[in-house]
Chains A and B, each alone.
Chain A
Amino acid sequence: MNDPCAHCEEMMQPYLDHVLTDEEMAQAEAHLAECVDCRRRYKFEESLRIYVRKAVTEQIPAELREKLAALRIPLE
């Protein structure tokens, strides 16, 4: 039998992307229910994704927004 934590690590990204089959999902959840280490690492990955998204999100500069609006083709 392979290391169940190593297998759970393999499943993490597809699990969080919701693309596992029902069977794989049940397998991952069964392991997560009993393994606090994997559970923590999954939780961390979820927080990381949200954190990364917040950290790199930039609003469109107001001047750029105006420049884009000025590119509209005038009505004849």
Chain B
Amino acid sequence: MEADAEEAQRLATEARDRVRFEEDALALSDQVYRVARHLASSREDADELMQETYARAFRSWRSFQPGTNMRAWLLRILTNLNIDRGRRQQRAPQMQPLEANDYYLYDRLAENDDGISDEDRVVERLSQDDIVTALSAVPHDFRDAIVLVDLGDFSYADAAQILDIPVGTVMSRLHRGRRILKRELAESALEEAT
């Protein structure tokens, strides 16, 4: 009889923990989506990946360690699913992406110097469409690092765990990725100017 009561108590505690886990995970969905949207190749892919991620998370909630970073845990699941499902096809895998130096974009944008010395205004020469297109043109490996660190505010160490690569690789992909992005942005800004 006592054993039954203990079992009932255990089940009640587990149910409570699970409900709390699900609520916490759902409360993070907005933040997870912001990152997932650009880890995925399209809005439709992001939508599917989010559902698969949450379905898996709800099933395997016991493997989450309370007190650790749940957002990183969810994104680790999402990244693995993204890789497993072969959604990370490169447009031209053999091609080395073009990088420019770090100052290149500013120098190109400021070239038509019309007396604007306010850097915030120089940035405004780029349109929102330019930026969205340029980011999607950055190859996945580099984009993943930019998306996690610059959009998701993950530390290098968290990004390394999510992507299952060394921290040094995160740093080099991030630095190169930002240069590739700036090169893409410079291209589109120049196209518009001509």
Contacts and interface: CB of A to CB of B under 8 A. Distances in A.
Contacts of B174: 13
Interface string A32-45: 00000000110111
Contact of A57 (B34, B59, B175, B182): B34
B14 to A, nearest CB: 10
B58 A45 contact: no
B101 A60 contact: no
B123 A60 contact: no
Interface in A4-44: 9-10, 12-13, 19, 40-41, 43-44
Interface in B23-76: 26, 29-30, 33-34, 37-38, 43, 47, 50-51, 54-55, 58-59
Contacts of A58: 33-34, 37, 43
Contact of B26 (A53, A59, A68): A68
Given A51-B123, A60-B30, A71-B54, 10 more contacts: A9-B103, A13-B174, A44-B122, A48-B123, A56-B135, A58-B33, A64-B51, A71-B55, A73-B18, A73-B22
Contacts of B131: 51-52, 55-56
A8 B170 CA distance: 22
B8 interface: no
B112 interface: no
A60 B58 contact: no
Contacts of A49: 150
Contacts of A19: 156, 171
Given A13-B175, A57-B151, A58-B37, A47 B15 contact: no
Interface residues of A, number: 33
Interface residues of B, number: 46
A65 B50 CA distance: 10
A69 B106 contact: no
B54 A43 contact: no
A55 B128 CA distance: 5
B19 A69 contact: no
Contacts of A68: 26, 29, 50-51, 54
A43 B119 contact: yes
A52 B135 contact: yes
Contacts of A46: 119
Nearest to A59: B30
Contacts of A12: 102-103
Given A60-B29, A75-B19, A40 B119 contact: yes
